[in-house]
């Protein structure tokens, strides 16, 4: 390759490990032909919104699934294809995408919808950025739809972050209320499966919708996703078996495509840092360790203090005890003691149970129902999906919880060191 030194020897002209590193960037949206392993999901989403391409009313759909399972990617992909197909049938179909974790109020969301509609058309009216309310933005939206579109697909990503869901009712009733003749299909996306329970009944019934669940990727799908980006690396840099290992590790932990790709990238960075010419299985193992800590930190950083304490309680049971699984009651008892340590009022056992359920869905823990014998009835057993060390570290990142015992402190009271009577208050 031609050496482009830019004149300064301080900067390497040629990356020995990466060729097209951008393929591994977190924000990178892969081309259509690099999307693999989601054919059924693509079909299902297309079946819900597809009527638009034939000039018929679409269904609304909610997509649920854990993080990194392709929800955002597939929604945008299908919406764009529907738009193209509609165009082929002389139907003007718009696609609107809003990330509700940023536009987290109805005003922000409607403003963004109005502005992106304006951007896609010749609409002349000025849309003020501030000083006006939701109603005015809706007026612009209906106006533009009426003038320029036969149909529109609205993707509301991370919809559970919206502070109210009135927009769902507005969008689904727009035709009925004679605001516009355009067909509107909404794709809502959430990684909180409990989202529907939070919907107002009135909204839930007007926003009649199908629900789709995206499952975590298995090892062979992850392998294919990574194989499709092998050209991020220089030829022959990835040693045999590295992608397979990376896929196997990621599938075992979470089935998150974003994380799998991150591990691969991290392994490459590591190889480069230590001056290795190739990326080995050992680099993947190390990168996976780092990625796992990051993953747990990301997942827990958004959680409530009580969810963090619940996780910490379970982790501390595992570290100080001699089992891998604990009953809700056992976790709760530990949790109450820990609340005392950090001078926080505990929530109820049922509240804690709900927190654990939420964490199970996020993929930090696994909960399994077990028959407790005739007299006991059934109960839930919780286990950590990850190393308890990572949980302790991640939870202690919270400034209000940094006084909790460290992993090493907890280890000192584990059965292997002979101290079975754990008195957590002794740490305070
Ligand atoms: N089927 C796939 N083929 C290729 N790459 C994929 C696939 N699924 C996911 N990816 C990669 O993983 C990234 C994350 O996927 P996506 O953003 O769709 O996840 P998500 O389910 O929306 O997660 P979150 O709940 O965290 O928003 C994508 O940007 C893409 O790089
Ligand atoms: Mg997403």
71 is in an annotated binding site: yes
Q: Which segments within 115-174 are labelled E, that is strand?
A: 151-157
pLDDT at 416: 53
Provide the pLDDT for residue 420.
40
**Percent of the chain whose predicted confidence (pLDDT) is above 70:** 94
Per-residue DSSP letter, 233: B
Contact at 8 Å (CB) between 242 and 281?
Answer: yes
- Regarding the beta carbon of 28 and ligand 1, being less than 6 Å apart is answered yes
Q: How far, in Å, CA of 373 to CA of 138, rounded?
A: 58
- Does domain 303-427 fall into CATH 3.30.310.10? no
CA distance 428 to 405: 8
Ligand 1, atom 13: closest residue by C-alpha: 258
pLDDT at 240: 96
How high does pLDDT run on average in the chain?
Answer: 89
Reported as a pLDDT band with limits 50, 70 and 90, residue 419 is very low
Q: What is the pLDDT of residues 50-68, one digit of tens each?
A: 999 999 999 999 999 988 9
Host H or E run for residue 71:
helix 71-88
* Spatial contact of 96 and 154, defined as CB atoms under 8 Å apart: yes
Q: Which residue has the higher pLDDT, 272 or 385?
A: 272
52 Cβ closer than 6 Å to some ligand 1 atom: no
State the CB neighbour count (10 A cutoff) for residue 198: 11
pLDDT over 90, % of the chain: 68
CB-ligand 1 contact for 265 (6 Å cutoff):
no
Residue 359 pLDDT: 78
- Could you give the CA distance from residue 336 to residue 20 in angstroms, rounded to a whole number? 51
Burial code (b: 16+ CB inside 10 Å, e: under 16) for 75-96 equals bbbbbebbbebbeeeebbbbbb
**Domain positions in the chain:** 38-214, 218-299, 303-427
Residues less than 5 Å from ion ligand 2, measured at CB? 72
**Ligand-binding site membership of 229 (annotated):** yes
Give the distance (Å) from ligand 2 centre to CA of residue 110.
20
Q: What are phi and psi of 155, to 5 degrees?
A: -100, 115
| pLDDT attached to residue 424 | 53
The CA 157 to ligand 2 mean position distance, Å, reads 6
CATH class of 218-299: mainly alpha
Assigned CATH class of 38-214:
alpha beta
Residue to mutate (ligand 1; options 24, 70, 361; most atoms within 8 A of CB): 70
Angle at 253 between CA 251 and CA 255, to 5 degrees: 40
Residue 427: which residues within 8 A CB-CB, separation 6 or more? 341, 404, 405, 409
Please work out whether the CB of residue 34 comes within 6 Å of at least one atom of ligand 1. yes
Render pLDDT for 279-327 as a digit per residue (tens, 0 to 9).
Answer: 999 999 999 988 888 888 888 887 889 999 999 999 999 999 989 999 9
Nearest atom in ligand 1 to the alpha carbon of residue 38 is 1
Which ligand 1 atom is nearest residue 221's CA? Answer: 1
Q: 182: CA distance to ligand 1 center in Å?
A: 30
Strands (E), 117-201: 151-157, 183-190
2 pLDDT band (50/70/90 cuts)? very low
Q: Is the pLDDT of residue 377 over 80?
A: no
Structure tokens at 209: 């919708």
The string of DSSP letters for 257-318 reads: HHHHHHHHHHHHHHHHHTT-SSB-HHHHHHHHHHHHHHHHHHHHHTS-HHHHHHHHHHHHHH
């Amino acid at each position: 390759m031609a050496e482009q030194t830019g004149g300064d020897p301080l900067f390497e002209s040629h990356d020995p490990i990466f060729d097209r590193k951008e393929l591994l960037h977190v924000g990178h949206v892969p081309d259509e032909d690099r999307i693999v392993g989601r054919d059924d999901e693509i079909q299902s989403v297309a079946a819900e919104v597809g009527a638009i391409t034939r000039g018929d009313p679409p269904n609304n759909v909610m997509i649920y699934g854990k993080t990194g399972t392709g929800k955002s990617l597939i929604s945008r992909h299908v919406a764009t294809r529907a738009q193209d197909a509609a165009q082929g049938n002389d139907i003007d179909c718009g696609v609107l995408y809003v990330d509700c974790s940023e536009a987290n109020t109805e005003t922000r969301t409607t403003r963004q919808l109005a502005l992106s509609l304006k951007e896609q058309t010749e609409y002349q009216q000025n849309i003020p950025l501030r000083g006006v309310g939701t109603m005015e933005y809706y007026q612009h939206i209906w106006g533009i739809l009426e003038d320029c579109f036969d149909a529109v697909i609205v993707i509301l990503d991370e919809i559970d972050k919206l502070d109210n869901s009135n927009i769902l009712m507005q969008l689904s009733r727009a035709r009925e209320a004679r605001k516009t003749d355009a067909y509107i299909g909404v794709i809502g996306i959430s990684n909180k499966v409990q989202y529907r329970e939070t919907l107002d009944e009135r909204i839930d019934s007007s926003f009649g919708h199908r629900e789709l669940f995206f499952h975590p990727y298995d090892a062979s799908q992850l392998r294919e996703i990574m194989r499709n980006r092998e050209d991020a690396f220089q030829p022959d840099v990835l040693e045999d078996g590295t992608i397979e290992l990376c896929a196997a590790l990621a599938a075992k932990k979470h089935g998150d495509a974003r994380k799998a790709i991150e591990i691969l990238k991290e392994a490459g960075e590591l190889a480069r840092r230590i001056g290795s010419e190739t990326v080995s299985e050992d680099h993947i193992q190390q990168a996976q360790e780092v990625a796992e800590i990051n993953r747990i930190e990301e997942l827990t950083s958004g959680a409530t203090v009580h969810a963090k304490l619940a996780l910490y309680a379970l982790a501390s049971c595992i570290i100080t005890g001699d089992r891998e699984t604990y009953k809700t009651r056992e976790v709760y008892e530990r949790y109450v003691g820990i609340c005392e340590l950090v001078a926080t009022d505990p929530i109820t056992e049922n509240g804690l149970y709900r927190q654990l359920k939420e964490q199970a869905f996020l993929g930090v823990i696994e909960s399994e129902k077990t028959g407790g014998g005739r007299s006991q009835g059934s109960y839930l057993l919780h286990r950590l999906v990850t190393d308890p060390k990572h949980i302790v570290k991640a939870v202690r990142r919270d400034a209000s919880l940094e006084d909790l015992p460290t992993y090493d402190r907890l280890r000192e009271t584990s059965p292997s060191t002979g101290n079975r009577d754990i008195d957590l208050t002794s740490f305070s």
